[in-house]
Structure 1
Amino acid sequence: MTTLVVPDYDAGINFYVDALGFTLIEDTDFGVGKRWVVVEATVGGRLLLAKAKNEAQTAAIGNQTGGRVSFFLHTDNFADTHARFVAAGVEFLEEPRHEPYATVAVFADPFGNKWDLIEPKEV
């Protein structure tokens, strides 16, 4: 599981569950504005959505890897997944590319994190 800092729990849930189709695994309210929110991709990777608590954490939202792609979301049907994401309003930063290793396109979540949607080629 990887921690991803977001500005708001519900905004994170809305994007990852509603737009990307992740499953909400847990949403436990600890009171005083703190929750334990876990979402899971269909391929099994989990994200802990953590609400930024201070200016330093807020400043890191969307730039947790210095502008590089942060996450890689694998699919076994690029065309269908890409079309579903586009229909859900996901912002792609490029057109799909056909590389020797995969079909891939970079998209951004609403918080500025970059993701690769990738369908690896069979070896």
Structure 2
Amino acid sequence: MKEQIATFFTFQKEDAEQAMNFYIGLFDNSKIIDLKRWGQEGPGKEGTIMHATFSLNGKLYMCSDSPPIHSWGFTPAVSNYIECSNNSEIERLFTQLSENGKVMMPLNNYGFSQKFGFVEDKFGVSWQLNLQ
């Protein structure tokens, strides 16, 4: 049975492939499942991603390079929530995801978690990291 719900990233700077490969490199059990590129016929720039399906730690994601530029982008109101199993994992993910991005909440004890951080990565996608 196909999964009915997947997270879909709409990239508008022709960086969908760079982002997808970055995320796959961060998480175990991650891979590209399917990849279709824009051809000469467009409307997207030739070679950019028309539609890609990939998994991050076994969870289904999709992305594309959007030919039209929209008035909206990613928002921190919708984020990826990651339960980290140990301190080295949360530190590694926080460091890598925040590089050239924006730290919205540095790693700390905020009362609801012994260690939590909230970042927007260099592609504009938001991530909440929590130590179990």
Q: By the TM > 0.5 criterion, same fold?
A: yes
Runs of 4+ in 1 over 4 A off after TM superposition: none
- Pairing of 1:25-40 with structure 2 (within 5 A): 25-32=32-39, 33-40=48-55
Residue 77 (structure 2) aligned to one of 50, 59, 68: 68
Report what 1:55 is aligned to.
69
Give the conservation status (yes or no) of the 8 Å contact 1:26–1:36.
no
Q: Which has the higher helix share?
A: 1
- Pairing of 1:14-29 with structure 2 (within 5 A): 14-18=21-25, 20-21=26-27, 23-29=30-36
Q: What TM-score, normalized by structure 2, do the two folds share?
A: 0.66
Matched, 1:41 2:56: yes
Structure 2 counterpart of 1:54, one-letter code:
P
Residue 97 (structure 1) aligned to one of 86, 102, 108: 108
Distance 1:86 1:117, change over 3 A: closer
Q: Which has the higher contact order (CA 8 A, sep 6+)?
A: 1
Percent of aligned positions that are identical: 17
Distance 1:87 1:70, change over 3 A: closer
Structure 2 counterpart of 1:113, one-letter code:
V
Distance 1:38 1:90, change over 3 A: farther
Greater C-alpha radius of gyration: 2
Structure 1: runs of 5+ lacking an equivalent? none
Report what 1:4 is aligned to.
9
